[in-house]
Amino acid sequence: MNVRKYVLAAVGATACAAMGAYLYSHFETKDVVEQAANTNAVQTEIRTIANYAPTDFTEAAESTINGVVHVKILQDNSRQQQYGSSDPLWQFFFGPQFQQQQTPQQPRVTGSGSGVIISEDGYIVTNNHVIESADQIEVVLNDRRSFPATLIGTDPTTDIALIKIDATGLHALSFGNSDAMKVGEWVLAVGNPFNLTSTVTAGIISAKARQVGINSNSMAIESFIQTDAAVNPGNSGGALVNTHGEVIGINTAIASQTGSYTGYSFAVPSNIAQKVAQDLKQYGEVQRALLGVQIREMNDDLQKETGRDNLDGIYVGGVADGGAAKEAGIETGDVILSINGESVSTVPELQGKVGMYHPGETVKLRVWHKGKEKEVSVTLRNVRGTTGIIKFGDQNELLGATLEKVSDKDLDRLGLRYGIKVKKLGNGKMKDCGIREGFIITKANRQPVTSPDDFNKIVLNASEGLFIAGVYPNGKIAYYAINLEN
């Protein structure tokens, strides 16, 4: 019996060896692999192995590093002189002329950040907070060429700004779809932290539609991509890119108690940043679309109140008279479940999705209304409650005023650091509320006003009213309230 087993084993081994020799002699190894790869089973196995293979970031880094620039913020000599000469403690120790003698004649760099080239002819996206205090902006490319930049427009509600340099043939980056990105995907942060140019760090997407409360604007949109890629001061305005080298976010903030990176950073999603940049380029202002609702996230009490069997959706806590939602039949107590087929479960998520549309566009909302689901069509409106496009300068006609910057001499005489002057008044809301020519506006809706452009942007973002603070040339302080709704 044992002899028979050995014989059979030997025969089997010989047969296997013969079959192997036959296959080897009749098929190239490459042919065998290619034939096997045609089967679904092997293809699935190949994909599984690829998913566990180490990620190579070199291609994404090389394709993006030349599309991210260093943005330098310069302040004029006059502003520096004014600040020093008006400081009583400085004058006590050094005398009133010391600051003027010591201040260099050329503007100096007082801050820096990053920017992303989005067109070959020099349009660059950055953060509003990077450039908001600048008298001049300088852009340094990765090849060390330097250009003065022109401010095209800003949007404080999303913290996005658009600038432009006079150059062609630049290395422009492409926007990716931030909505398609998933938690856990690899991303790279590209920027200039601590003035260290062309810095690349890696991490994953830690969360989406994150609201962190850093934007104090009353109409702020915070729907950040959260990542653990290291971001530090100077990274603001730089690119957050996927492994294909597509921009899926504009790095904006960090979560830190020290001022430096301690674990998490936040980026404006590319879908929002791209829409804002296009509006600024085309209209000079962002065309903000509004639903006209007050919203809250669902909780146990609201679930019971609405009769829902889960916590999905966004609770409507109030509906504005004359707003888009009220016209569409949405009422207080309804629950918004989706917009154009995309479900929403957090306030930032809904705000971010609505923020990608323009006034006058119609969206379909799935709503829980009086115990059942229904679909409604909503035509979005602008901050004025109409469906039209608001163009830069429209507010001047509404207010009936010609504005100009205040001279350094008048600022120094009145002890002011900034302000704009009402040069001329015609028929309009400023004259109606009692403002007289010569009035110097220092703040509007609690925001400092340093130029007519600053004031125009504040007016555009004021949904209901405008509260103005300022001073007359004789030193008399005055306050005015303007109703913008009628």
Asked if residue 237 lies in contact with residue 71, where contact means CB atoms within 8 angstroms, the answer is yes
DSSP assigned state of 389: P
Cβ atoms 165, 122 nearer than 8 A: yes
What per-residue string of b and e applies to 429-455 under the rule 16 or more CB within 10 Å gives b?
Answer: bbbeeebeeebbbbbbbebebbbbbbb
Q: Is there a catalytic annotation at residue 155? A: no
Task: Give the HSE-up count for residue 219: Cα atoms under 13 Å, Cβ half-sphere.
Answer: 24
User: CB–CB of 70/198 below 8 Å?
Assistant: no
Compute the distance between CA of residue 437 and CA of residue 135 in angstroms, rounded to an integer: 26
Catalytic residue among 129, 206, 223, 270: 129
Of 70, 155, 159, 270, which residue is the catalytic one?
A: 159
Is 244 an annotated catalytic residue?
no
Go through the chain and tell me how many residues it has: 486
What value, to the nearest 5°, has the Cα angle with vertex 28 and ends 24 and 32? 90
Collapsed DSSP state (helix, strand, coil) of residue 318: strand
For residues 420 and 441, is the Cβ–Cβ distance under 8 A? yes
CA distances from 411 to 95, 471, 474 (A): 20, 11, 12
Report d(CA 75, CA 132) in Å as an integer.
Answer: 11
The angle that helices 29-37 and 40-52 make with each other, rounded to 10 degrees, is: 100
List 112, 206, 223, 236, catalytic entry = 236
Active site (annotated) includes residue 171: no
Q: How far apart are CA 23 and CA 36, in angstroms?
A: 14
Under 8 Å between Cβ of 358 and 380: yes
Q: Are 206 and 183 in contact (CB under 8 A)?
A: yes
Give the helix/strand (H/E) hosting 91: helix 88-94
Q: Which residues are marked as active site? A: 129, 159, 236
